[in-house]
Amino acid sequence: MGTAKAQALRIGATYGLGSHTSTFAQGSRLRNRVKAGWTLISIAVIGGICLVVAWHQETAVQHYPPPTAQDVTHAGELVALGVAIGVILLVPPRRTPPWYWHYYEGGVATVSDRGRVTAVRLADVVSMSTTVVAGYDESFVAGSALTDHAGNTVSVSHRHDLADRAEQILLDRHLGPLIARFDAGQPVAIGCLTMGKRGITCRSRRPKGHWDVTWPEVSNVVTRLHGQRVTVTRHQGRKPGMVWAALDDEPNGFLAGYLLRHAARQAGVPFQADEPLPSYFPPADAPDARARRMA
């Protein structure tokens, strides 16, 4: 870790990221290669055992003719080939260093296993997209990707306060103009959603991702997973029921939840979020965004 610490300090000074706070290391991709090798060896050995048992069952119980020498040779060759390939996968060609995530007061940097450095300063962040992963029981937020003016993108853990600080910077920069455009009667598009005084329109490539609702048809609006899932319930119109939209991996998709709350309040429609949204423009010395959401 001493080498990683020195690397973090050097990168922080080079890219002007401020003081170093923490480092996270992820194992190299050779781990998957080793797993594949053991899996292939297991399949070859178990397959050979099952073949021997099947031959014994046919000859001793069902009285079929025993396998010929050519059959045994071919089966042995297949098992040996599987074991040989598995052994080759188990032997790494060289020792590959892990990936590093270095966190700083003013940004984040990653170092790949090939030594490529990608750094993003918080002051230069122009968008943040959130990744949602579908689990066995439910979906969850896996992480956020920060992109700067130069197009550099670094993925960070959603539990790290750096994602909250980047979100607050983008809120202070973009939400005010978006609300002003909405109040002026102009439609505002965020990802696949377009919100206006008339209602909400969705144009998504997902199944049943095209729908339009007017505010008089809406009975409530619900956002989940940090604003990445939007559910609209309409009590009247051509197709009463629920429609939904997914904003994960959309640049600045989290802004839709804030704008929907503003629009729903103006239309007199109930709005609900799975975690309370902080106020629009908190003071500069307020706690971080996550602390405000949990308050």
Lowest-confidence pick of 133-147, 156-170, 181-195, 269-283: 269-283
pTM, full prediction: 0.68
Fold of 184-294: PH-domain like (2.30.29)
Identify the pLDDT of residue 50.
84
- 108 forms beta bridges with 103, 120
Specify the amino acid at residue 25: A
Mean of pLDDT over the chain: 81
Confidence of residue 283 (pLDDT cuts 50, 70, 90): very low
3-state secondary structure of 79: helix
Confidence band (pLDDT; 50, 70, 90) for 282?
very low
Closest CA to 167 of 282, 12, 52, 37: 282
> Is the separation of the CB atoms in 146 and 125 below 8 Å?
yes
**Residue 32 CB coordination number (10 Å):** 11
**Distance (Å, rounded) from C-alpha 108 to C-alpha 238?**
49
Could you give phi then psi for residue 243, rounded to 5 degrees? -125, 155
Give residue-wise pLDDT tens across range 240-277: 788 888 888 889 998 999 999 999 999 999 998 876 66
pLDDT of residue 266: 92
